[in-house]
Structure 1
Amino acid sequence: MRELSLDQVKTLISIIDLGTFSAAARALHLSQPTISLHISELEQRIGAPLLIRGSRRVMPTAAGSTLAERGRRILRDADLALEAVRQQVTGNTGSVRLGTSTGIVVHLLPQVLETLEKNFPQIEVEVSILGSTETMARLTQGTLDIGLVATPQKPGKDIVISHWRSDPMMAFVPARWNAPKRITPAWLAEKPLIFNDATTHMYHLTMDWFAAAGHAPRGRIELNYNEAMKSLVAAGYGAALLPMEHLEKSGLHPQIQILPVVPKLMRHIGIAHRRVSMIDGATRNLLHTLGLYKQTANQK
């Protein structure tokens, strides 16, 4: 048997519900010959009569009743499927895969996700904690939709990177150290240091800052988790260069001094994603939400 046409099934149901071919034609905005053709083709495909044509009202045969009953379910499922697709296309529902670092997850991402939840409660964000290099690789591979990455980065094929925010790098120094009000590379290079992992963009940013002043210090330990680095600073293990990712006050860390560095050093974060023509509605809505927290020049 050939495949059924949803339009023909809808015609059959309308005739059974309304009782006549002409009433079904008016309800469906079709001509009566088209209605008759729909039923004729259905009966040919089924291989049995579906309707009993009476003088006043058309009645379904047993086969017609069965097909109409199952057809109602099919049409409801088809409507639900179309609505689900519409919701996904508009971005009201869907899943977005986002990659970013631990520092952004701890300090910056929660407020973004809170806003997204308020506006689009049916969008699910799957967060992967990754370094910027791996995030860019996975965007290119298609296993991530959005990445919050340290910049500059070389965009991959069909990947767009736009500026999101810039945060000053600060010296996190144990409170008991006798430190100047502004930290220079020369002063810090002589102290025990806690560095980010050598594979990270932050590590290279830090080492370039020292190198520009003629220093090449070695760290006592390398980590890839800023909050753990702060804990080690608080314990007096060493000092660290870290971004000020929120309005962090030294009073919140009584065992840490947070001091500006000279020369000034900034960590820049960008939003990386595939071209807009290649992304779905849920991803566009998350990009829009991230844009609400984009840092302007006056905020830097």
Structure 2
Amino acid sequence: MRGFNLDQLQAFADVVDLGSFSAAAERCNLSQPAISQQVKLLEQRLGVKLIERIGKRAMPTAAGNALRAQIGPIDQAIRGALDAVAPFGSGVQGQVRIGCGATACIYFLPAVLAGIRQKYPDLEISVKTGNTADMARLVETNDLDIGFVTLPFASRALEITPVMKDPFVAIFAANPETASGGDISDGPISPSEMAELPLVLFEQGSNTRTLADDWLRKTGRSVRPVMELGSVEAIKELVGAGLGASILPSMAIVAGRSHLPVQARALDPAMGRDLAIVMRRDKTLTQGLRVVRDGIIAAGQKADVALPAS
């Protein structure tokens, strides 16, 4: 252990994982020369070449591959040591790593985490976004401490705590004259009515798209969108411009965020998603992790999921 530098190991792992010194520097919020120096010092410490350039990509050598395979267990051992002593410390500090979907990251978590940061300034919180399967897997491997994900899914290794329900809504341009497909009447809208409109839906592979497709399938026929995007904000902008209608989680319809306002209508039959917290069953509940977990649960219970005004 004497003489080993954990920052050097992390810099090396980031370069290998991202295939680029510049990308690793951006992830660590450092300069590219600083990352290069970290890797160079590690190579000098070990007496072997760890990284080689193949074209424009930085690739691990055979020695680099062997070292990269050991960094995961090293990281877990260090975190285990920190978790073991955390309950004996004073105050709420340390690091909590959260994984969640993009929609929750934009519209739900910021207010929660801002309140926690204001109350506990020594607590470091990082957030990673992705789909439920990926976030749950990272929690299982202890690469994340806690996940805020969409149900249903199953895992024997994880403890699942339901937090809130988030109903889906149909959205249209706020100006009825702008709305593509003509006037949009008030009240809930059916799959058959929705299927008659040009649809701008979330890209395939997401839970949001899967739920929307299942709901539209109640028409008994195949419904194809005119556009598919990976950004909720982009979908709202296109809908607000009158280029179609969409189906989104109600938490994404926040007044004042879109330059081109949208109006929302309930779905008939109603459809939505259940959001839950997931943690490893054997995870040490540090003071910081407890604060984050309880903060998310409390915010979820208070969340106003009523339909926004049009």
Question: Same fold by TM (over 0.5)?
Answer: yes
Provide TM-score, normalisation by structure 2: 0.63
Change (3 A) 1:298 1:200: closer
Q: Is 1:269 aligned to residue 268 of structure 2?
A: no
Name the counterpart of 2:112. 112
The SS at the match of 2:300 is coil
How many positions carry a matched residue from both structures?
218
Native 8 Å contact 1:89 1:280 kept in 2 = no
The SS at the match of 1:245 is helix
Mapped to 2, the partners of 1:89 and 1:289 lie a distance apart of 21
Mapped to 1, the partners of 2:205 and 2:137 lie a distance apart of 14
1:125 corresponds to which letter in structure 2?
I
Displacement of 1:129 after TM fit?
A: 1.6
Displacement of 1:199 after TM fit?
A: 0.8
Displacement of 1:276 after TM fit?
A: 6.1
Change (3 A) 1:218 1:299: closer
Native 8 Å contact 2:86 2:287 kept in 1 = no
Change (3 A) 1:288 1:94: same
Equivalence map 1:79-158=2 (5 Å): 85-86=85-86, 92-154=92-154, 156-158=155-157
Change (3 A) 1:298 1:240: closer
Mapped to 1, the partners of 2:90 and 2:211 lie a distance apart of 40
1:194 corresponds to which letter in structure 2?
V
Q: Is 1:179 aligned to residue 184 of structure 2?
A: yes
Mapped to 1, the partners of 2:95 and 2:231 lie a distance apart of 27
Please give the per-residue CA displacement for 1:184-203, whole angstroms capped at 9, x wherever unaligned: 11111121111112111111
Identity %: 27
The SS at the match of 2:234 is helix
The SS at the match of 1:95 is strand
Native 8 Å contact 1:196 1:222 kept in 2 = yes
Name the counterpart of 1:52. none
Displacement of 1:86 after TM fit?
A: 4.8
Mapped to 1, the partners of 2:240 and 2:275 lie a distance apart of 26
Displacement of 1:294 after TM fit?
A: 2.7
Name the counterpart of 1:226. 232
Displacement of 1:256 after TM fit?
A: 2.0
Native 8 Å contact 1:96 1:283 kept in 2 = yes
State which of 241, 244, 247 in structure 2 corresponds to 1:241: 247
Change (3 A) 1:141 1:276: closer
Displacement of 1:131 after TM fit?
A: 1.3
Change (3 A) 1:246 1:120: same
Mapped to 2, the partners of 1:119 and 1:297 lie a distance apart of 20
Native 8 Å contact 1:88 1:94 kept in 2 = no
Native 8 Å contact 1:92 1:282 kept in 2 = yes
Name the counterpart of 1:169. 168
Native 8 Å contact 2:165 2:273 kept in 1 = yes
1:220 corresponds to which letter in structure 2?
V
Native 8 Å contact 1:194 1:240 kept in 2 = yes
Equivalence map 1:48-67=2 (5 Å): none
Displacement of 1:228 after TM fit?
A: 1.4
Change (3 A) 1:151 1:252: same
Displacement of 1:247 after TM fit?
A: 7.2
Change (3 A) 1:88 1:215: farther
Displacement of 1:299 after TM fit?
A: 6.7
Mapped to 2, the partners of 1:272 and 1:90 lie a distance apart of 26
Native 8 Å contact 1:194 1:220 kept in 2 = yes
2:141 corresponds to which letter in structure 1?
Q
1:287 corresponds to which letter in structure 2?
R
What is the CA RMSD across the aligned residues, in angstroms? 2.9
Provide TM-score, normalisation by structure 1: 0.65
Change (3 A) 1:123 1:209: same
Mapped to 1, the partners of 2:272 and 2:282 lie a distance apart of 29
Q: Over alpha carbons, which structure has the higher Rg?
A: 1
Mapped to 2, the partners of 1:97 and 1:87 lie a distance apart of 18
Name the counterpart of 2:58. none
1:234 corresponds to which letter in structure 2?
G
1:197 corresponds to which letter in structure 2?
E
Mapped to 2, the partners of 1:88 and 1:120 lie a distance apart of 17
